[in-house]
Structure 1
């Protein structure tokens, strides 16, 4: 191990992984510091990637040369496109993944990068001179770095809760926490917040009565996340749906006095859009049942994750209420749910590059910035890694704005508005979502990724070819004519109309299904996109106006 690196990444969750890979692929030497090497790539919560608003983030990360989409494609055991009954602008990919395979593919991706070294240890302090980061202290040893990216996740002064019992840790069975790192940030003058998240119990699938449950299958054929994945090879398996009931709710209400959430033991602000079951029952007393999605954790394990019943109630209470649910009457609980509090740096103290305003060359990414979710963390990690590398090379920063990517909306919201609760991405947060779709993430971002050295020429040429073919097809449709009653209009104009499908106007063979589908979406949205582009132009002009002092 050297004593000096270009970039030091602290923490090896989704943010840290993407930061390290981006920095290394841009030619920087990277040290990835983590408590436990064997846990790199471990999914702390549910075994799934993507979802509404989140699938778009994963597609954009992939378009910028990130790894999360490729890992998901390799480890995926069920793929679905959510919102498929709605317009293409809100189609959102989601995949169940094999937890163990996800970890292995992640670790293999890091091993392939010769510029990355991994060190086990605790970062106990930051070396700062003249408001510039110079390195870190790891277990008493100073290691110098031109840039430092902090991605500690829930390990930043983490505290776990089961009932009224509390204990330090960033994840179950991992009691080490970054308390000294949190104290270092406070001493440097950063304003801090305290947030709370939680996770569900884990069940032995051999003790679940699946005859009482409804199977939920994925899409056939499964659609990959990554633009470089052609097909999904792994066996696909279903999830299962059941529900809580009034007896479940009764047991929980009777035991709220032992809930850390309702007795003041937990003081951190929780996730509004992913509340614990006890929180749902208190806030929505008129609901007589809540969904429970039983998600398989892999092909070679019997463990299931019961999405929808996150809890921090005591073990004996979890035993009681879980076994009131249909199909779970005799379930064996392999691990109990718990809540976790962790420290957060108030994110308006960051630049759009995710560099801190106080300390130059210090970057923050992931839950330390107040977000929740694998995808939000990975997106920030990628941007922090790119910008750390660019700054070291004295090149212009890379900033995505609200008009160019979901990632831009995420970072703009955090750095300009801040957040008083764990931030989750939704399609509804994105004003220009008709422009920023999953299907065109590569068209929007591949050129930039190629210039940054994050994707190779073959990938960029493939996207250029797709773009050219789309333009050719659209031109053909603008030149082709069709007679309708008293009018003769172009095929392009005809396709804009509701209910008209491109398959009825274009013969197969010349263009790929992907090109035809993307061209159709572009044409269908073209009147609205034209209006949006006009708004964006006006916005750009307003941004140039200088306000007198």
Structure 2
């Protein structure tokens, strides 16, 4: 077979995971190629036209801090921006934007085209050539062979994709692309453990068919309060559209229940496991019978299209039933469906067969990212793609790879959950998944991760200079607040009469620890610090106000690091360790944790097992170092 190209890294798929993987690998100097079923679907948004959301916004900021593309693209193509969870603590504040679906695709496609060291191919990859446990190349549908040292599989829902709409079902990827079934067969033949997952997409409807006067208007945040995703974005931001909220009702629920036998989800045609935290409308009506209504978020797909997206109404019911149930909703009486809702099944890997670098344990040099790893969501995919692409490039170039501990980032938490605990359904990132969420806020992603991105070669000089400048501005402002005194009489003149400000004045920093005192109040008295943006002001106020809690969390992290420093050899044999339970030995043998901390997070490994393992490792290390026990 003729070799048509030789690369360091090949990426299969150009969705959100594939984009970040290809970009990261190429930026690191690896000769890279990305293969996609269609150039017209690079950066496609087959589900909701939005970026971010609760915990997902954290991931976008982390991708940006590490040198990725998603945050910059979202800032360049957003239609409406809202900071979620403002009524809660800063740890769970999460940015979410409505995005122009077509413009996002165009932006991402052009960004890849401008990336040095990166070739883009429109072709279906039908086989991975693995020899002696090592990736050697890939084969396309046209019979082309491309050699590589590392391969990133980022196939989204196209791998073994199958669409369901009522009684109709057929092989397909999202939005009418064809399914990649041959690659599934190749991977299974090579020893990969695959499973079937399922997700759903709501209908797109025509704007003119909606009576918006009957819906609740949902505007974005005031323009003066808008914050970008990217730490590089400095231009003013402006909302361009409104979103709206409609509600289901008992009449609609009755239509669904009367037609439940026509749903492939309940008829048994769909075998894949669906996302627990994003159920179809059929699931909602069945599982939450006591609820008389569920919200529907009506969102525009772009500035130059009349398509509207109905978030919260994913379904696999027949098109005729969809028409009937939508028209039972207030404001949707004359709805015109442009694209019916559908469910899609797809193939993905068991993530416990991956290392924390996202490299497969089955074949050296093969990495997984995104829905192939059992996750859901654009943001989870992009974050994994960046890590997989970075590590694939460093593998190909013979350099040490990056493992992010879970206390460093939501990305580290996500990967640790996948490879240590595995998944039973599509994984979605949530703030509750992190035990360190006060330290892993979205506002400090740059301080946590940009130095790491710089060390591993992803952060360029311009981003590093911007980061250093922001860090200096913050340090100067903290020093100014620490040394500038404020009189209580002046502060009382600004505050409401019933505000609990304390008895005496003090430094600005001391006063900011009091709940009733804000940074905005302080700056009215002492002026604003030079170069302080609204986002930076909020970060400074958070860090001062929650300093005690953050310090406590950092002490916990230091304790965890001690366990992470106890490395476990990759070929360590757990079978003879009869002092451990049989379940613990089986789980440890399968997962093969890198260190004692990861071992302790494996389901089935008890604290007693961990204590015994710790003593065994300590004894082994002392023996290896020649110490007398």
User: Taking structure 1 as the reference length, what is the TM-score of the superposition?
Assistant: 0.97
Number of the residue aligned with 1:442: 446
What are the within-5 Å matches in structure 2 for residues 152-191 of structure 1?
A: 152-174=155-177, 176-191=178-193
Number of the residue aligned with 1:504: 521
Number of the residue aligned with 1:25: 27
Number of the residue aligned with 2:433: 429
Number of the residue aligned with 1:524: 545
Does the 8 A contact of 1:20 with 1:385 survive in 2? Answer: yes
The one of 354, 368, 389 equivalent to 1:385 is 389
> RMSD over aligned Cα, in angstroms?
1.7
Distance 2:173 2:30 in 1: 29
Deviations 1:144-192 (A, max 9, x none): 0011000111111111100021100111322x22212112221222222
User: What's the CA shift for 1:461?
Assistant: 1.9
Does the 8 A contact of 1:224 with 1:231 survive in 2? Answer: no
Distance 2:236 2:309 in 1: 23
Distance 1:182 1:232 in 2: 46
1:400 aligns to 2:395 (yes or no): no
Distance 1:486 1:368 in 2: 59
User: What's the CA shift for 1:468?
Assistant: 2.2
Number of the residue aligned with 1:37: 39
**Residues 1:235 and 1:509: Cα distance change in structure 2 (over 3 Å):** closer
Distance 1:482 1:236 in 2: 41
Deviations 1:213-233 (A, max 9, x none): 111100121321111111355
Does the 8 A contact of 1:196 with 1:342 survive in 2? Answer: yes
Number of the residue aligned with 2:373: 369
The one of 455, 463, 468 equivalent to 2:467 is 463
Deviations 1:73-124 (A, max 9, x none): 1110000000011121111000001111111111110111132111122211
**Residues 1:102 and 1:267: Cα distance change in structure 2 (over 3 Å):** same
User: What's the CA shift for 1:495?
Assistant: 1.6
Number of the residue aligned with 1:327: 331
Distance 1:55 1:401 in 2: 19
Number of the residue aligned with 1:272: 276
User: What's the CA shift for 1:460?
Assistant: 1.3
Pick the structure with greater CA Rg.
Answer: 2
Does the 8 A contact of 1:409 with 1:429 survive in 2? Answer: yes
The one of 336, 339, 342 equivalent to 2:343 is 339
Corresponding residue SS for 2:389? helix
Distance 2:509 2:481 in 1: 5
User: What's the CA shift for 1:486?
Assistant: 6.8
1:538 aligns to 2:526 (yes or no): no
Number of the residue aligned with 2:49: 47
Distance 1:30 1:234 in 2: 36
Deviations 1:300-319 (A, max 9, x none): 11110011110000011001
Corresponding residue SS for 1:359? coil
User: What's the CA shift for 1:321?
Assistant: 0.3
Distance 2:279 2:441 in 1: 28
Distance 2:299 2:193 in 1: 38
Distance 2:435 2:314 in 1: 31
The one of 446, 451, 455 equivalent to 1:451 is 455
The one of 62, 65, 72 equivalent to 2:64 is 62
User: What's the CA shift for 1:509?
Assistant: 4.1
User: What's the CA shift for 1:517?
Assistant: 2.7
Number of the residue aligned with 1:132: 134
**Residues 1:223 and 1:472: Cα distance change in structure 2 (over 3 Å):** closer
User: What's the CA shift for 1:234?
Assistant: 6.1
Distance 1:476 1:107 in 2: 45
What are the within-5 Å matches in structure 2 for residues 463-482 of structure 1?
A: 463-481=467-485
Does the 8 A contact of 1:63 with 1:449 survive in 2? Answer: yes
Does the 8 A contact of 1:74 with 1:232 survive in 2? Answer: no
Does the 8 A contact of 2:30 with 2:397 survive in 1? Answer: no
The one of 101, 104, 107 equivalent to 2:109 is 107
**Residues 1:479 and 1:160: Cα distance change in structure 2 (over 3 Å):** same
- The alignment covers a number of residue pairs equal to 548
Distance 2:324 2:503 in 1: 71
Distance 2:78 2:369 in 1: 25
Number of the residue aligned with 2:569: none
Distance 1:129 1:43 in 2: 35
Structure 1: state its 5+ residue gaps: none
User: Taking structure 2 as the reference length, what is the TM-score of the superposition?
Assistant: 0.84
Deviations 1:379-426 (A, max 9, x none): 000000011111122222112111111100010100100000000001
Corresponding residue SS for 2:516? coil
Distance 1:536 1:230 in 2: 33
User: What's the CA shift for 1:541?
Assistant: 1.4
Does the 8 A contact of 1:76 with 1:234 survive in 2? Answer: no
User: What's the CA shift for 1:363?
Assistant: 0.3
Number of the residue aligned with 2:222: 220
Does the 8 A contact of 2:436 with 2:553 survive in 1? Answer: yes
**Residues 1:51 and 1:219: Cα distance change in structure 2 (over 3 Å):** same
Deviates more, 1:460-469 or 1:204-213: 460-469
